[in-house]
Amino acid sequence: MTAGSVKRRGLAAEAPPKPSKRFQSGPTAPGNGNPNPSPPLNVINEMEDDLMDEDIFLEETLLKYEEDEEALRLAEDEALASRLSKWKRPALSPSYLSSSMNILFQQLEIDYVIGESNKELLPMSSGPAAILRIFGVTKEGHSVCCYVHGFEPYFYVSCPAGMSPDDISGFHQTLEVRMRESNRSSSVPRFVKRVEMVQKKSIMYYQQHEAQPFLKIVVALPTMVASCRGILERGIQIEGLGSKNFLTYESNVLFTLRFMIDCDIVGGNWIDVPAGKYKNTKASISYCQLEVDCLYSDLISHVPEGEFSKMAPFRILSFDIECAGRKGLFPEPTHDPVIQIANLVTLQGEGQPFIRNVMTLKSCSSIVGVDVMSFDKEKDILLAWRRAEALKISGFPILGRVRNSRVRVRDTTFSSRQYGIRESKDITIEGRVQFDLLQKEDVHHSIISDLQNGNSETRRRLAVYCLKDAYLPQRLLDKLMYIYNYVEMARVTGVPISFLLARGQSIKVLSQLLRKAKQKNLVIPNIKGQGSGQETFEGATVLEAKTGFYEKPIATLDFASLYPSIMMAYNLCYCTLLTPENARQMNLPAESINRTPSGDSFVKSELQKGILPEILEELLAARKRAKADLKEAKNPFEKAVLDGRQLALKISANSVYGFTGATIGQLPCLEISSSVTSYGRQMIEHTKKLVEERFTTLADYEHNAQVIYGDTDSVMVQFGVSTVEAAMKLGKEAAEYISGTFRKPIKLEFEKVYYPYLLISKKRYAGLYWSNPNKFDKMDTKGIETVRRDNCLLVKNLVTECLHKILIDRDVSGAVQYVKNTVSDLLMSRVDLSLLVITKGLTKTGDDYAVKAAHVELAERMRKRDAATAPNVGDRVPYVIIKAAKGAKAYERSEDPIYVLENNIPIDSQYYLENQLQKPLLRIFEPILKNAQQELFKGKHTRNLKNSTPSNSGIMKFAKKQLSCLGCKALISEADRTLCTHCKGREAELYCKTVANVAELEVLFGRLWTQCQECQGSLHQDVLCTSRDCPIFYRRKKAQKDMAEAMMQLDRWEF
């Protein structure tokens, strides 16, 4: 029997994304040798993907002839053909057909390929050239692929002093020769197409002169930018000037981005191709309805405002592939067949998918509302899928099937599989975190194979699961409004949507910077990669936290967008930075220079307005507008768009600071970032000082104010008053007063009062949040254990409950009692096992881990027990820590929760007490309770211990079972059955206890099992789900076991 399976869940928005170099599907895949985790976003020193163009030649991407033939043959199959016709996009109107109308479409993806330059549009050029492809959808829902010709890759170098326009042609020739030497294999007729002298200015440092000569170097193909840059950086000989090394400018801009910037195209905006300016392509190579050629200079790009802020009705495919794998191995395309593919297609903006289908290997019973297609061969499934998809999606499944440099084998199955992989995007990864919340069902590997090998009924069940899985990403997408947020982010920052998914933060800032710089005739030097990533600068200040439990209202003063405000207020930018040397030379008057607390100098805006401040101003003004519109907006779609926009704007504004501080980023400038943080520190200190000086009894206030804590952009003040209302009044007064002392637009705002407030340490606090004096809004916590996966649920529950009791019920002793009860329950083995499960992902096999880890060891042990059900790489491994021989390491004491349940294995309650509960609880209680450790973890409640007796241990095999009295556990004879003579009198009481226990179990059993029925969506079929990520999985199992025991217990009380 084969076991093991992979489930790939993917989601492909309309346009086929660029060939993602990452393999991003559900589990990471060692099979592909590329378990590349996505780099975390929002990290200042993030590692960027190398910004590298990759030339892809058109011919290579075309399908082999016979493969396409096969797909066609399949499509001729009547049944399939009729289905395909159903999925067709709306037919083109005559004016489209006759090319007599503008093609107006929302572009969703832009990439480029290398092809022969278009003779008709560009009669002057020949040889290979980069052709941009813009994919999109018109408002009628037609798919569009627009080939844009004539846009050439280029970059700048500064013109060496003494070089005159006459020297250019010599320079050009030298460069051409050097390029030919280093690109011998290339057959391009000319590498360097043109060298022009232009007047530009570098963005770096404040300069008094207007512009300087720069050389604009235009090359034949995008990849040549990099090789040409290399040659120039290393230096070349120039006649009369000797060897020169060049600093290149804007040589790290991706070709598509360059194109977008120069044509004012932002991600996901609307583009007009005027009638008469485009021609239908001769040989259609995509499945798009409209496929045209045009010149880049003829495109009209619309600013995404008003009419053009809408979304086209593009289609979203969400799919799930099931394959049958082999025992204990991650399925590999060469061995393991794909057995089912479920597809759902939704129109953007509509709630329900309009196409649902499942393609299965072997027959499958029908499913209501779903188109079931069965095939006998795996190959046919894959071909049909591709074929179908070709029609459904505007995109380009076949052309989009771009070679993946890591995988060279190209038999049909494989490449198609790869194609599936290619389309899985980051969304699925981000989404996975959410799956648990969405109550994802999991069918175990071995069950998948069994279901597949059964009959058409069992395969139908599998198909239902498959469909459900396919629907999940879609639902997730809707729920989190990914589409709106991403499109808005793309529009704001100007990068293609695919960049947002595949690349980090800095490309977004770079895109904005480049656009702005272009307007100002500035060029950006390519100085990336200089930092080692080691340079650091002092970060944000955190004021000393005066820890404790505050039972008086604490007012919080917040700086609104602190870092962006600082950059604007002090005109901090690349182009306003003064080097000490320049400062001396230029001899500027002191009043036009700002010296920052970190010791750097920037000129004031009268001399030179900074670009970064300008970008920030625009972003924040736009955000203000979006927020105002949001208030006005009535319909939910409009709201979603606007909310997406304001969020995108906020994130963008905040990432500008990070961009300047990213030492291995695109354009690091630590002078800016350290100035920003130093100002930030100063402001926090300043605020503290002012508050404590002004609000005193000497100045006729009731109490002396005290700043108890301050963090990056907020300051917590205890004014000493006892009502929320009074604290709010003072908070407002303080915010206004202190704001007045800052340079605009830095502003201190008063937003909220915490009351009561539990300050545990730096970055850790909890409190009730009041924004109006009548009623608190919520409980706010920061840095306190909540949902971390390597904590068991018990910790989370305890912490939440305690905070609730302390803050809301104001019942500290109740919280203490609650902890004591739980501790006692834990020691008495009365805690529900599911609360004790710890889960960790298995990323590599045991040998690859340097340090022994509990979950890896367990996976190994389980493999020895039963390889078919053992967790595989990529699975999450749940475990509990059990009692074992003294001195055994923690990793040796991990055990499968199911195994523990089935065999009554005792839990190591001491471990949970010390390693899980103690720290987070002491953190909370130490500011409140004297001797918290003593009180909570040592008292009388810890004296009673109880362990279950394992039913599988060696000694139990020799034990003889004998009845004991249900009351006092004394051994009794067979004749007595239930109670010893001594306990007979307490019969009623003891019976009540037993039956109450049974009643409770029954309620739980009912709730758990009906919930699982609900989740699986069927009443008449047994629940198959074995998802260990489900919080009730173990309880459900346990309920079954308890049920059997309870029945036997009750039976002993004969009726």
| Binding positions for other proteins, rule: CB under 8 A | 352, 365-370, 437, 439, 457, 460, 768, 776, 778-779, 793, 800-801, 804, 808, 830, 986-989, 991-993, 995-1000, 1002-1003, 1005-1011, 1013-1014, 1017-1023, 1031-1032, 1040, 1043-1044, 1047-1048, 1050-1051, 1053, 1055
Nearer to other proteins, 640 or 1015 (CB): 1015
Nearer to other proteins, 42 or 366 (CB): 366
Q: Angle of helix 506-519 relative to helix 636-661, nearest 10 degrees?
A: 90
Closest CA to 253 of 581, 450, 495: 495
- Do 483 and 348 contact (CB within 8 A), yes or no? yes
Closest CA to 362 of 375, 379, 381, 343: 375
Task: Write out the two tokens for 621.
Answer: 């003004």
In whole angstroms, the minimum distance from the beta carbon of 369 to other proteins comes to 3
Closest CA to 649 of 473, 452, 489: 489
C-alpha of 822 from chain center? 36
Nearer to other proteins, 742 or 991 (CB): 991
- Do 673 and 531 contact (CB within 8 A), yes or no? no
- Do 148 and 132 contact (CB within 8 A), yes or no? yes
Amino acid letter, residue 43: V
Return all residues near 510 (Cβ < 8 A) that are at least 6 apart: 253, 659, 666, 667
- Do 675 and 598 contact (CB within 8 A), yes or no? yes
Nearer to other proteins, 101 or 1050 (CB): 1050
Nearer to other proteins, 355 or 759 (CB): 355
Nearer to other proteins, 414 or 991 (CB): 991
Nearer to other proteins, 641 or 784 (CB): 784
In whole angstroms, the minimum distance from the beta carbon of 986 to other proteins comes to 8
Nearer to other proteins, 356 or 855 (CB): 356
- Do 455 and 436 contact (CB within 8 A), yes or no? no
In whole angstroms, the minimum distance from the beta carbon of 459 to other proteins comes to 12
Cα atoms in the Cβ-side hemisphere of radius 13 Å centred on 794: 26
- Do 101 and 92 contact (CB within 8 A), yes or no? no
Nearer to other proteins, 139 or 804 (CB): 804
CA distance 727 to 1048: 62
**Residue 1021 CB neighbour total at 10 angstroms:** 11
Compute the radius of gyration of the chain from its Cα atoms: 34
In whole angstroms, the minimum distance from the beta carbon of 1000 to other proteins comes to 8
Residue 231's alpha-carbon distances to 180, 197, 243, 587, 960, in angstroms, are 11, 19, 12, 38, 86
CA distance 425 to 12: 8
Local structure of residue 102 (DSSP, 8 states): -
Nearer to other proteins, 551 or 1051 (CB): 1051
CA distance 679 to 597: 6
Nearer to other proteins, 604 or 986 (CB): 986
Residue 159's alpha-carbon distances to 171, 218, 245, 514, 1053, in angstroms, are 11, 15, 11, 20, 100
In whole angstroms, the minimum distance from the beta carbon of 68 to other proteins comes to 33
Q: Is 368 exposed, middle or buried (0-12, 13-18, 19+ CB in 10 A)?
A: exposed
Nearer to other proteins, 340 or 674 (CB): 340
In whole angstroms, the minimum distance from the beta carbon of 947 to other proteins comes to 15
In whole angstroms, the minimum distance from the beta carbon of 960 to other proteins comes to 22
Phi, psi of 671 (to 5 degrees): -60, -40
- Do 559 and 714 contact (CB within 8 A), yes or no? yes
Nearer to other proteins, 285 or 724 (CB): 724
Phi, psi of 843 (to 5 degrees): -100, -30
Nearer to other proteins, 749 or 780 (CB): 780
CA distance 485 to 478: 11
In whole angstroms, the minimum distance from the beta carbon of 234 to other proteins comes to 58
Nearer to other proteins, 624 or 788 (CB): 788
In whole angstroms, the minimum distance from the beta carbon of 367 to other proteins comes to 7
Amino acid letter, residue 266: V
In whole angstroms, the minimum distance from the beta carbon of 1009 to other proteins comes to 6
| Dihedral class, residue 264 (left if φ above 0, else alpha if ψ from -120 to 50, else beta) | left
CA distance 675 to 670: 8
Task: Write out the two tokens for 49.
Answer: 């993907």
Please calculate the CA angle 441-444-450 and round it to the nearest 5 degrees. 120
Phi, psi of 193 (to 5 degrees): -80, -45
In whole angstroms, the minimum distance from the beta carbon of 726 to other proteins comes to 22
In whole angstroms, the minimum distance from the beta carbon of 1008 to other proteins comes to 6
Nearer to other proteins, 654 or 1049 (CB): 1049
In whole angstroms, the minimum distance from the beta carbon of 709 to other proteins comes to 22
Q: Which H helix or E strand runs over 381?
A: helix 378-392
Return all residues near 978 (Cβ < 8 A) that are at least 6 apart: 965, 966, 972, 1052, 1053, 1054
Q: Which residues pair with 236 in a beta bridge?
A: 244
Q: What is the largest CA-CA distance in the chain?
A: 119
DSSP states of 524-563 as a string?
Answer: -B--TT---S--------EEPP--EEE-S-EEEEEETTHH
Q: Is 218 exposed, middle or buried (0-12, 13-18, 19+ CB in 10 A)?
A: middle
Nearer to other proteins, 43 or 1044 (CB): 1044
Nearer to other proteins, 148 or 807 (CB): 807
